[in-house]
C-alpha cells in the first residue's frame, strides 16, 4: 500500500468548499484575497451548490468554480433517473480528484461538505468548526472563534491559523460585464434613472424581519427627504410582499424581487447610493461592494462591526439575545421592533453625508 504524500507548507492547489448559504458565501469570499496574497502561484477553486456559482464565477482570484447540482440530482433521483445522477456524480468526483488538491478548506463544517472534501481526495483537509461527524473526515479541525465582533470572524480566524495573510481579509465580490449590462437595462426599464437606495427586507426567518409598515414609511422618507428611489430586492418568493410594500408607499419604491439572478442583483447593489437591510445575503453584499450600508439585526449576531467606514450595524442587546431559531418573545420580535424608522433614517442620512458623491445607475462602482 502506498503512503499518502505529505501536504506541502506552500500549497500548489487549494479547494474551498462552502456550498451554501448566500450570506455565508459572501462573507467567506474574504479568504480569497488572503489566499491569493499568501500563495500567488496556487490554483484556487471553489465548490458550491448550483445557483450560488453566480456569486463566484466572475472573480479573477478564482481559477475555477465547481458546481454541485444538489437540488436537481434530488429531483432526478425521485423521478427515477438514478443512472444519470450516478453518472454525473462520478464525473464531478473525478474532476475534483483530478485536480490533486494539496489543501481543501471546508468552510461549512457539515457532513455534506466534508463528504465532498473526502471525495475530492485532498492531502490536507482542514475543517472549520466541523460537526455532525464531519470532523472524522478531516485531517485537522480549526474551532470557530466566539469573541470577535467582526464580520466573517470565523474565516478571518482560519486565515490567521493558516498564516495566510489574514490582514488582507476583505469580502471579495466581482460582477461580470454581462450582469452589469442586465442590471442597467432592468433599472432603466423600471424607471430608475437617478440615484437610488437598495432595500433588502426579506429573509427565510420571520424573527429576522423588520415590519412591512416600517419599510413603507422608510421608503417614503428616503424618496422624499433623501432624494433616493428605494429599490426592493429579493427572490421570487418575496414578490408578493414587496408588491404590497410598493403599493402602500404609493409607488415610492420599485420592486425588483425575483427579477435578477444573484450576480445581477450584485450589479444592482454595486450601483446603489445606499443599502439598507436585515440579516440577509443581499445586505452583506452591500458591505462587500463598498456601498454605504445599514444592517438591522435582531435574533442573530453574525457581526457587530463591518470592518469598514461605510457600514453600520444596528442592534439591541436584550436578555434573550441572540435567540437564533428559537424566539422566546411569542412572535413579538421585540428586538426588531426597537428599530425605529427615525433611528434607521438618521443613520442612513449620516452615512450618505460621509459618502461624498452619490452614484447613479449610469456610474461604475467597484469591481
Is residue 2 domain-resident?
Answer: no
Contact status, residue 44 vs residue 60, Cβ threshold 8 Å:
no
DSSP-based helix, strand, coil % in the chain, nearest 5? 40, 15, 45
Mean pLDDT of the chain: 91
Is residue 364 domain-resident?
Answer: no
Asked if residue 300 and residue 232 are part of one domain, the reply reads yes
The model's pLDDT over 188-247, given as tens digits with 9 standing for 90+, comes to 999 999 999 999 999 888 888 899 999 999 999 999 999 999 999 999 999 999 999 999
Q: At what angle do helices 82-98 and 70-78 cross, to 10 degrees?
A: 150
Asked if residue 190 and residue 105 are part of one domain, the reply reads no
Last residue of a domain, one of 136, 168, 200: 168
Asked if residue 229 and residue 206 are part of one domain, the reply reads yes
The model's pLDDT over 321-342, given as tens digits with 9 standing for 90+, comes to 777 778 777 777 888 899 999 9
CATH of the domain at 242: 3.40.50.2000
pLDDT at 254 over 60: yes
pLDDT at residue number 331? 74
**Higher confidence at residue 107 or residue 354?**
107
139-148: list long-range contacts, CB under 8 Å, 24+ apart.
139/7, 144/109
Give phi and psi for 96, each to the nearest 5.
-65, -45
Asked if residue 102 and residue 140 are part of one domain, the reply reads yes
Cell of 344: 434607521
What's the CA gap between 5 and 244, in Å, rounded?
60
Last residue of a domain, one of 168, 194, 229: 168
Q: How far is CA 255 from the centre of its chain?
A: 21
pTM, two decimal places: 0.90
Is residue 4 domain-resident?
Answer: no
**Which of 208-219 are b and which e, b meaning 16 or more Cβ less than 10 Å from the residue's Cβ?**
bbbeeebbbbbb
What's the CA gap between 174 and 55, in Å, rounded?
8
Return the percentage of the chain with pLDDT > 70, whole number: 95
Asked if residue 122 and residue 191 are part of one domain, the reply reads no
Return the percentage of the chain with pLDDT > 90, whole number: 78
Last residue of a domain, one of 139, 168, 197: 168
Identify the sign of the CA torsion 175, 38, 97, 118. negative
Work out the pLDDT band at 16, boundaries 50, 70, 90. very high
List the domain range (segments joined by +) for residue 231: 177-354
pLDDT at residue number 357? 43
Amino acid at each position: 500500500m502506498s503512503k499518502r504524500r505529505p501536504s506541502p507548507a506552500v500549497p500548489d492547489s487549494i479547494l474551498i468548499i462552502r456550498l451554501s448559504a448566500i450570506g455565508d458565501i459572501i462573507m467567506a469570499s474574504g479568504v480569497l484575497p488572503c489566499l491569493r496574497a499568501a500563495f500567488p502561484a496556487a490554483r484556487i477553486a471553489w465548490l458550491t451548490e448550483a445557483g450560488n456559482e453566480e456569486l463566484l464565477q466572475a472573480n479573477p482570484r478564482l481559477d475555477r468554480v465547481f458546481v454541485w447540482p444538489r437540488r436537481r440530482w434530488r429531483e432526478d433521483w425521485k423521478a427515477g433517473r438514478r443512472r444519470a445522477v450516478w453518472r454525473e456524480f462520478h464525473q464531478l468526483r473525478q474532476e475534483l480528484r483530478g485536480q490533486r488538491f494539496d489543501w481543501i478548506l471546508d468552510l461549512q463544517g457539515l457532513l455534506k461538505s466534508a463528504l465532498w472534501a473526502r471525495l475530492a481526495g485532498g492531502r490536507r483537509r482542514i475543517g472549520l468548526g466541523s460537526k455532525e461527524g464531519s470532523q472524522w473526515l478531516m485531517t485537522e479541525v480549526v474551532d470557530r472563534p466566539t469573541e470577535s465582533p467582526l464580520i466573517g470572524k470565523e474565516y478571518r480566524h482560519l486565515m490567521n491559523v493558516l498564516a495566510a495573510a489574514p490582514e488582507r481579509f476583505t469580502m471579495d465580490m466581482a460582477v461580470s460585464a454581462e450582469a452589469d449590462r442586465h442590471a442597467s437595462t432592468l433599472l432603466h426599464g423600471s424607471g430608475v434613472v437617478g440615484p437610488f437606495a437598495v432595500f433588502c427586507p426579506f429573509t427565510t426567518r420571520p424573527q429576522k424581519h423588520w415590519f412591512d409598515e416600517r419599510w413603507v414609511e422608510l421608503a417614503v422618507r428616503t424618496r422624499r427627504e433623501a432624494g433616493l428611489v428605494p429599490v426592493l430586492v429579493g427572490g421570487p418568493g418575496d414578490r408578493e410582499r414587496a408588491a404590497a410594500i410598493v403599493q402602500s408607499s404609493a409607488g415610492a419604491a420599485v420592486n425588483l424581487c425575483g427579477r435578477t439572478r444573484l450576480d445581477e442583483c450584485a450589479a444592482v447593489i454595486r450601483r446603489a447610493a445606499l443599502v439598507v437591510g436585515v440579516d440577509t445575503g443581499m445586505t452583506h453584499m452591500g458591505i462587500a461592494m463598498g456601498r454605504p450600508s445599514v444592517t438591522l439585526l435582531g435574533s442573530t449576531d453574525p457581526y457587530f462591526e463591518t470592518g469598514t467606514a461605510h457600514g453600520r450595524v444596528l442592534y439591541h442587546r436584550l436578555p434573550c439575545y441572540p435567540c437564533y431559531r428559537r424566539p422566546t418573545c411569542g412572535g413579538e420580535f421585540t428586538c426588531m421592533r426597537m428599530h425605529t424608522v427615525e433611528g434607521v433614517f438618521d443613520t442612513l442620512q449620516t452615512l450618505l453625508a460621509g459618502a461624498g458623491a452619490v452614484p447613479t445607475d449610469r456610474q461604475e462602482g467597484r469591481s
